[in-house]
Amino acid sequence: MKSLTDEIVNAELLRNGVSRAVEQVVKCYQGCNSGEYINTGMLIA
């Protein structure tokens, strides 16, 4: 899971800055708990 989170952080840092990256990490963490983290990752990619 860490690798997916790292990719989300890197993509969001490049696109939108730190605050956006943090937001996406929080969504990923919440999504992992609800079983939807794969969908989040595909949206970012």
Task: Tell me what pLDDT residue 34 has.
Answer: 59
* Geometric angle at alpha carbon 1, from 32 and 39, rounded to 5°: 50
Task: Tell me what pLDDT residue 5 has.
Answer: 82
Task: Tell me what pLDDT residue 1 has.
Answer: 56
**Number of folded domains that form the chain:** 1
Position 45 confidence tier, pLDDT thresholds 50, 70, 90 = very low
Structural domain boundaries, residue 9: 2-44
pLDDT digits (tens, 9 = 90+) for 12-38: 777 766 776 677 777 777 666 655 555
Query: DSSP assignment, residue 1?
Result: -
